[in-house]
């Protein structure tokens, strides 16, 4: 069946901008260049060694950030293709959405954020000054592509378009959630030292004071990636939990059927029946994944199509020029007529059910013995690494020291100071500076 395409809602590369002006490529679009720069970056390759929940040495079949990223790319491109959105921009955002993530999954992210907000104190580290607080992987992704990677001697970063940058930042929330370690008396139970919880003041000001993105850089493609990320996480959490006997087949199927029964098609019910009869684990696990992903993607596409049709008729968005005017409506704080995150989502009732399904499966996995011992190991390793680098920062890699001083003295000042110097000379000088600065701090 041929679906109606809503091309007028897609991102137009002519409106995309880069921070640093570049000559256009003779046959590659802006979004293709964004995608390729990400694909060939060091940070993208490093995703293969980073995990979701279980550490990579635990099982050869456990997903990494790289395999997760490829799954998000596949799901989001499928959705964009059905809607007539820009597939290349969708792919660029999907491939880069987790490029700022830590080793050891979200445990690594939490550990760094607690340390960088002063919740988890390492004695030698001292107090974190205002303006330097926080860690969050989507904000760190912006830092990676704007500062840490480099494709030119004239500027830092990959010089991606504003549309891709907005997608990286907004694939998940940009502010902190309420702390899990705060008790009813306002005490912090992260480390049992009876201190008052400071999590009301959790901050990401390290990023917020450095990186500003205009509100009008949003695209529907970016929000597609955001939802595709959630779908990918749901299905691979289920797969990993089945592989590790955290859930059994009957529990998953009963949960899925009870929550989504009113939304299942006849084909869904037939497939559910076939899976119930299957006894071989290596057969029923991929069938369960197929059922869940196909169901969630289909329902999502159907609802977005209905939303696009309503917008098309109500606001007369027939051509791309109409969409440019409609964007102004969405961006109007005074009118606040439509939340664009709601356009690319399930209907409100199904959205609540999907959230419940995700919460049940996620809490079961994260609270499991296997996940908890891995979180404990991950937290311990990260704290030991940070202590080791604080005791002797000369152990840091040359590139890391260069990156540190670019952030410390500012990019423009760094380029002015070390312009036309050989890399070996720069490293020698910076290591000498680091030694002096470190001993001053320790005195």
Domains and CATH numbers, the chain: 7-384 (1.10.3210.10), 404-442 (no CATH)
Q: Which residues pair with 305 in a beta bridge?
A: none
CB-based burial, 63-75: b 16+ in 10 Å, e otherwise: bbbbbbbbbbbeb
DSSP 9: G
- pLDDT value at residue 115: 87
Q: Contact, 170 vs 226, CB < 8 A?
A: yes
Q: Are 95 and 38 in contact (CB under 8 A)?
A: yes
What pLDDT is attached to residue 45? 94
Tell me the β-bridge partners of 18: 161
Structure tokens at 121: 């104190």
Spatial contact of 25 and 37, defined as CB atoms under 8 Å apart: no
**How would you write the pLDDT of the chain (443 residues) with one tens digit per residue?**
446 689 999 999 999 999 988 989 999 999 999 999 999 999 999 998 877 655 555 566 677 899 999 999 999 999 999 999 999 999 999 999 999 999 888 889 989 988 888 888 787 676 788 888 889 999 999 999 998 998 887 888 999 999 999 999 999 988 877 666 777 776 776 765 556 665 556 778 888 878 877 778 999 999 999 999 999 999 988 988 888 888 899 999 999 999 999 999 999 999 999 999 999 988 999 999 999 999 999 999 999 999 999 999 999 999 999 999 888 877 765 444 468 899 999 999 999 999 999 998 888 888 888 888 888 888 999 999 999 998 888 998 988 888 888 878 877 788 778 877 778 888 888 888 888 877 665 55
Q: Report DSSP state, residue 161.
A: B
Helix, coil or strand: residue 182: strand
Per the structure block, which two tokens stand in for 49?
Answer: 């060694």
| Residue 382 parent element (H or E) | helix 369-391
């Amino acid at each position: 069946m041929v679906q109606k395409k809503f091309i007028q809602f897609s991102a137009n590369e002519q409106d995309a901008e880069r921070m640093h002006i570049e000559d256009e490529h003779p046959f590659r679009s802006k979004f293709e260049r964004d995608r390729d720069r990400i694909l060939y970056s060091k940070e993208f390759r490093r995703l293969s060694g980073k995990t979701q929940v279980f550490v990579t040495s635990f099982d050869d079949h456990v997903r990494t950030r790289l395999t997760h990223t490829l799954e998000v790319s596949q799901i989001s491109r499928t959705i964009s293709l059905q809607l007539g959105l820009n597939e290349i921009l969708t792919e660029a955002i999907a491939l880069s959405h987790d490029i700022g993530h830590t080793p050891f999954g979200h445990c690594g992210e939490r550990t760094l954020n607690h340390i960088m907000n002063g919740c988890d104190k390492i004695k030698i580290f001292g107090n974190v000054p205002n303006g330097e607080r926080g860690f969050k992987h989507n904000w760190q992704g912006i830092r990676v592509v704007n500062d840490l990677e480099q494709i030119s001697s004239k500027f830092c970063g990959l010089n991606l378009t504003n549309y891709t940058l907005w997608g990286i930042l907004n694939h998940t929330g940009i502010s902190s959630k309420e702390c899990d370690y705060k008790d009813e008396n306002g005490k912090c139970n992260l480390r049992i030292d009876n201190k008052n919880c400071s999590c009301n003041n959790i901050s990401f000001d390290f990023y917020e004071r450095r990186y500003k993105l205009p509100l009008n850089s949003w695209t529907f493609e970016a929000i597609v990636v955001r939802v595709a990320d959630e779908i990918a996480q749901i299905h691979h959490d289920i797969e990993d939990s089945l592989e590790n006997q955290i859930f059994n087949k009957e529990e998953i199927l009963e949960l899925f059927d009870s929550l989504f029964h009113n939304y299942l098609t006849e084909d869904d019910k037939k497939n559910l029946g076939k899976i119930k009869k299957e006894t071989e684990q290596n057969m029923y696990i991929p069938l369960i994944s197929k059922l869940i992903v196909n169901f969630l993607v289909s329902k999502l596409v159907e609802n977005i199509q209905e939303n696009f049709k309503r917008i098309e008729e109500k606001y007369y968005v027939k051509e791309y020029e109409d969409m440019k005017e409609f964007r102004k409506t969405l961006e109007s704080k005074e009118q606040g007529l439509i939340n664009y995150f709601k356009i690319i989502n399930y209907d409100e009732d199904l959205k609540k059910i999907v959230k419940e399904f995700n919460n049940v499966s996620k809490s079961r996995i994260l609270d499991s013995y296997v996940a908890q011992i891995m979180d404990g190991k991950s937290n311990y390793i990260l704290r030991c690494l940070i202590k080791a680098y604080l005791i002797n920062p000369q152990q840091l890699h040359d590139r890391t020291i260069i990156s540190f001083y670019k952030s410390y003295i500012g990019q423009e000042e760094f380029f002015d100071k070390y312009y036309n110097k050989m890399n070996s000379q720069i490293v020698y000088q910076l290591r000498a500076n680091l030694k002096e600065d470190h001993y001053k701090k320790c005195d």
